[in-house]
Amino acid sequence: MSACIIRGLMKDFCLNGRELKVLKGIDLRLEAGSFVSLVGYSGCGKSTFLRTLLGLTPPDSGSVFFEGMEGRRAIVFQEPRLIRSKTVGQNLLLALHHCPVREEKERVVESVLCILGLSAFRNAYPHQLSGGMAQRIALGRALCRQPELLLMDEPFGALDALTRKNLQRELLRIYLKRKMTVLFVSHDVSEAVFLSQRVLVMKEGDFVRDISVDLPYPRNTGSPEFIEIQNDVHRSIVSENYY
Amino acid sequence: MKSVCRQLLVPVLLLALYLWACRMEMVNPYLLPRPKQLSDSVFRLLSGGELFEHIRISLFRVFCGFSITMVLAFPLALLFHFAPRVRDFLEASLHFLKSVPPLAMVPLFILWFGIGEASKLALIVAASFFPLFLNIESGLQQVDDRLVEMGRSLDLEKRALFFHIYLAESLPTILTGMRLSFGYSWRALIGAEMIAASSGLGYLILDAQEMARTGDLFVGLACIGGLGLLLDSLALRSVRRFFPWIGAENS
């Protein structure tokens, strides 16, 4: 069974001369094709963990390796981070910067735009897009990388509730179609339970709970089972050792 | 169309005021030339091709000077931004130079470079360097770190990061700097030509004053202002044409 395996990941930051342990030796196995969410208070190390997985921040110790996978990764940030001088198409092409074949690049961009239903916006500039659309383009840019592991850092956190709901469904649809591994950071418990098969609760640089969500997609957020799991996750976030 | 009409209102009113003042003989013709004197000046300067020659020479000088400024300011601004060590060494010296008005350096330029073209170019460069340099630098400084992080997440190497992110993001500020800097070189050029020259629009004006040809003087002033306006609006138009996203963001 292929998987992404993380062993003993540690990272310290120095803040105003004080040593801050952000990641305290994280061990994790992400099965290929699974959707895993990461919840916890802000500042608990979620974002740093994602950046370390992507290689943007080198860890102090520990390792990340891929079993039976090439290890293609991509990230979606909380903000779209599109380049304002480039059209939607050009922004997506940037993700395929390393691909030498022009036709191949065009094909990938076209198919991604098609999946997102945004083909008509290929020549639009970012300032002409709404917040939700811009974020979908950012998701598209990550999909252009054809990732085996998709990292998402609170990707819908800055959107209004209605748009967020839409994008959650859209992400789910794409996930079920592409069968990639997704690691989804969120501060919204309901969102995490709605989307993922496994919810990891993070506290002060380590995981304190690993809750599996054994409900079929699409999930009914009003069902007793759903609410039960949601409450369980909530309790572990605000449990006794929180101060 | 409406905005063009609005823009023309003030010039038309001034023209009417001028014609009225001439009709009433309110101002000495030596100070404010009559329409007849003006048309004579225009006709004389145009028929001999003299005016075009002055314009050609002035434009040539300003484009040469401005090109030199670009060649100097771009690499230096990049060096300043991407090599903080270099900045430590040069920052104070550049601030010193920035504080010296270019016109104050004219005597020195004449001493060093003579009264030929070199001293004029030196003055243009001295006047237009800082607006461009400072704008490029601040443009680069304003590039959002989060975009750079995004670029790194796409595995862009240094070159691609520079062109696709740093340069693309700072382009509006750089273009503003170029427009500003070009305006400065145009103004400095006229100054240069009024000090040591035998051709160019600045020379035309100074010569007209010495020869008491008030008509020529006004024609020269109109050319300088008109050309400045024309070049700036051309620059603005091409920016809008080639970079449609600039300025559209905030509206």
Q: How far is residue B183's CA from residue B106's CA, in Å, rounded to a whole number? A: 19
Pairwise CB contact (< 8 Å): B150 & A85: no
Amino acid at B240: R
A chain contacts of residue B245, beta-carbon cutoff 8 Å: 84-85, 125-127
- Helix and strand tally (H, E) in chain A? 7, 9
Domains of chain B: 36-250 (1.10.3720.10)
φ and ψ at A197, to 5 degrees? -95, -15
Report pLDDT digits (tens) over A20-47.
888 888 999 999 999 999 998 888 888 8
Q: Identify the CA nearest to A38 among candidates A208, A176, A162.
A: A208
Chain A residue at shortest CA distance from B146: A81
In the 8-state DSSP scheme, what is residue B164? Answer: I
Residue A135 pLDDT > 90, yes or no? yes
Report pLDDT digits (tens) over B8-34.
899 999 999 999 988 888 888 888 888
Six-digit token string for A233: 């996750």
- Helix and strand tally (H, E) in chain B? 11, 0
Predicted pLDDT at B251:
44
Pairwise CB contact (< 8 Å): A56 & B152: yes
A chain contacts of residue B249, beta-carbon cutoff 8 Å: 84, 127
In this prediction the ipTM stands at 0.90
Residue A141 pLDDT > 60, yes or no? yes
- pTM listed for this prediction: 0.85
Burial class (CB in 10 A: 0-12, 13-18, 19+), A14: exposed
Average pLDDT score, chain B: 90
Q: To the nearest whole percent, how much of chain A has pLDDT over 70?
A: 98
Report pLDDT digits (tens) over B70-111.
999 999 999 999 998 888 898 899 889 989 998 888 889 989
Q: Does A121 touch chain B (CB under 8 A)?
A: no
Q: Identify the CA nearest to B160 among candidates A24, A224, A98, A193.
A: A98
Residue A243 pLDDT > 60, yes or no? no
φ and ψ at B34, to 5 degrees? -70, 160
Report pLDDT digits (tens) over B94-153.
889 989 998 888 889 989 998 888 999 999 999 999 999 999 999 999 999 999 999 999
Q: Does B44 touch chain A (CB under 8 A)?
A: no
Average pLDDT score, chain A: 90
Predicted pLDDT at A30:
93
Predicted pLDDT at B249:
61
Which candidate from B149, B153, B164 shows the least CB-CB separation from A83?
Answer: B164
Q: Rounded to a whole number, what is the distance in Å from the CA of A22 to chain B's nearest CA?
A: 19
Report pLDDT digits (tens) over A89-111.
999 999 999 988 999 999 999 99
Residue B250 pLDDT > 60, yes or no? no
Residue A228 CB contacts under 8 Å (≥ 6 apart), including other chains: none
Q: Rounded to a whole number, what is the distance in Å from the CA of A184 to chain B's nearest CA?
A: 16
pLDDT band at A241 (very low <50, low <70, confident <90, very high): low
Residue A60 CB contacts under 8 Å (≥ 6 apart), including other chains: A10, A11, A12
Which candidate from B155, B169, B248 shows the least CB-CB separation from A98?
Answer: B155
Predicted pLDDT at A240:
53
Six-digit token string for B83: 């090599």
Higher pLDDT, A14 or B249: A14
Amino acid at A48: T
Residue A75, helix vs strand vs coil: strand
Predicted pLDDT at A138:
96
